[in-house]
Structures are given as structure tokens and as C-alpha cells.
Copies of this chain bind each other. A is one copy, B any other.
Amino acid sequence: MENIFDFDSVGISEDNSKVIILDQTLLPGKEKFIEINTLPELTEAIVNLRVRGAPAIGVAAALGIAVILKGSKNNNISDLTAELEEISEQLINSRPTAVNLKWAIDKIKAKFFESVRVSDGNITRIIESTIEEARNIKNADIAMSIKIARNGLTLLKPGMSILTHCNAGHLAVSRFGTALAPIYLGNSEGYDFKVFADETRPLLQGARLTAYELHKAGIDVTLICDNMASLVMAQKKIDVIMVGCDRIAANGDVANKIGTSALAVLARHYKIPFYVLGPGSTIDMQTATGDKIIIEERPEYEITDLWYAHKMAPEGVKVYNPAFDITPASLITAIITDKGIFRYPFDFSI
């Protein structure tokens, strides 16, 4: 695997018999692809973050369901429907807060039931159209990524230095990712960007994934610890900050990986543009403001033990491990989506 674009982080075999996933838990040390064609394998991969990034999880679920139905022993519609319901429920329970997961499953189910209605009970036809829908979801993800890349690139100039956080790139989203999309597109057009990647404690997505994929793509990337962002901004090494997003409230408040809000505050202090990039589908008009979003807390061992040779905190000490924080809309220069570029004060209803 020489170039990052030689492979998909989530793909499907040509004969539609298996989903192929690059195991992100083993990066950057080991590049191992796993093949999935059963529900336990698919659930395990999602729960244990072998596949991660909201769009990638959605694509993996869609392709996974299609592959499992194709391999199913059930040869009548009512059994196959029961199996689909069972798969859907288990998958949604594997990561209840993943909005894209539910969205992708609902889309696959809708297509399945539509096919059942129009295909006169032809199971092969039903499964074929389900597979086609799953491939469509993946292709739509690629198209979305390219649109974000094009929109984002209009705000950048050649030679710029960009700070990013966590991983919202090729590994998280089909093709270009979201936050990294304009970087990849610009790079292919000779923009010659420099990137600084926060390592992103505690899961180290920046060190393990972003530094990995940018380095592999031949982009000039420098890894820093999260607490070094202020210094590199003070040293005028950063022209713009670009991050992804988990969820955008109707007022433009953004939920994203823990540490994002610190970067937004620093960006305001150092007068650096702060851009959030994501699919338009991430905008949740049902959530008025960010303070309505409950901060998910993750296990303590991620901070005290994970990745380490030995425990790095005293036994019994209290630990707080919030998964994400809320960046207030007022600190965001622009939100860049496949639907267009929005600027503060945000009005997504247009």
C-alpha cells in the first residue's frame, strides 16, 4: 500500500461478498485489512473503533448489511425481513449516539422495503437493490467529500499552514475526508500546504491517523502535542485552523472532539480563522443550541492506561474523560459543508 488513495478505509469486494476495512486500531504501526461478512464481525469492528469517523461508520454499516443479506441462508422475504430488523437493532445498539449509523441503516431499510414492494418477491432482485443502495451511500459520501474540498479550497491560498485536530480525513470519510478534504484537493493542485496535526489525547487520532494519512499522502505534516497549539499560533506558524464536527446545532454551536473549543478560543486570541468542515447532514436543526447536547464521558483507562507500557497515573485517582466539547458559534469563522459555506451569525435555513 504505497499511497493513501490506493485503498478505501471502508470498501466492498467486487463480488459484494465482504466488506473490507483498514483496521484503524493498529495504525500507524501496522496496515491490516480485515474482511467482514457476519454481524458479529461488523458489530465488533464498530464497537472497537476498527472503523471510526461518523461517515465511515455509516458506510460500513450500509455495506455490511448488504453483504450479510447477500450471504444469508434465509430464502423467503419474511425471514429475510426479520433478519434485517435484527441486524439493524444490534448495529444501532453498538453505538447509540452515532447519528450517521442510524441514518445509513434507515436508508438501507427503506430501500429494502421499497424493493420488497416492487420486485414481486424476487429475493435476488431485492438483495441486488440493497447492495446498490449501500454502494450509493458510499458514492454519495465521496461526492460530499469532494464538494467540501472544493468549497473549503476557495478560502485557502497556496503555501498556507493549517492546524487540524483529531482525524477528519481519508480514514474517517470516503476519499478526502472533511477537515482534510481541502488539503488533499489543494495538494493535488499544487497548493503546497503545510499541516500541523494535534496528537489529540487520549485516543491519539491525530498522531496515529492524521499524521499517518497525511504523511503517506506526501503532505508536509508536523506532529505536535495538543498543549503546543498556543505556541505555534503565537509563533505565527498557523494561517488557519480546520476541524471536523460530530454535530452542529441550529445556531451554529459545534460538538466535536475534546480540545476543539480550546483551539477556537486560541484562534480568536491570535486572530486566526477557525473553520469547521462537515457534511450538511451534520446540521441538526432539532437541537437549538450546543448546551442542549449532553457531553459523553468515556472510560478512565483511556487516560491512565491506554497505549502505555505501564499505568501512568496513580492508582485510584479521579479522572474526567469527556469525549467532545462544544465550540460556541461566535468563535467560528465559517462552517464549510457540501451545501455551501456558512458564516457567523449562522442561518442554515436558507
Residues of A that sit less than 8 Å from B by CB:
28-29, 196, 198-202, 204, 207-208, 211-212, 215-216, 220-232, 234, 258-259, 261-262, 265-266, 268-269, 295, 303-304, 307-322, 325-326
> Min CB distance, A144 to chain B, in Å?
27
Do residues B212 and A198 form an inter-chain contact, with CB atoms below 8 A?
A: no
Do residues B312 and A309 form an inter-chain contact, with CB atoms below 8 A?
A: no
Q: How many copies does the complex hold?
A: 2
Do residues B231 and A318 form an inter-chain contact, with CB atoms below 8 A?
A: no
Starting from the known contacts A201-B227, A207-B304, A262-B262, 18 additional A-B residue pairs (CB-CB under 8 Å) come to A29-B310, A200-B227, A204-B312, A208-B312, A211-B313, A212-B313, A212-B317, A223-B317, A224-B303, A224-B320, A228-B320, A228-B321, A230-B259, A231-B261, A265-B266, A266-B266, A268-B269, A308-B308
> Min CB distance, A30 to chain B, in Å?
9
How far apart are the CA atoms of A310 and B114 in the complex, in Å?
49
Query: Can you identify 12 A-B contacts, CB atoms within 8 angstroms?
Result: A28-B313, A29-B311, A196-B320, A199-B312, A199-B313, A211-B317, A212-B317, A226-B226, A232-B320, A234-B261, A262-B266, A265-B265
Query: Which of A220, A232, A234 has most B Cβ within 10 Å?
Result: A234
Do residues B225 and A201 form an inter-chain contact, with CB atoms below 8 A?
A: yes
- CB-CB under 8 A from A261, the residues of chain B are 230-231, 234
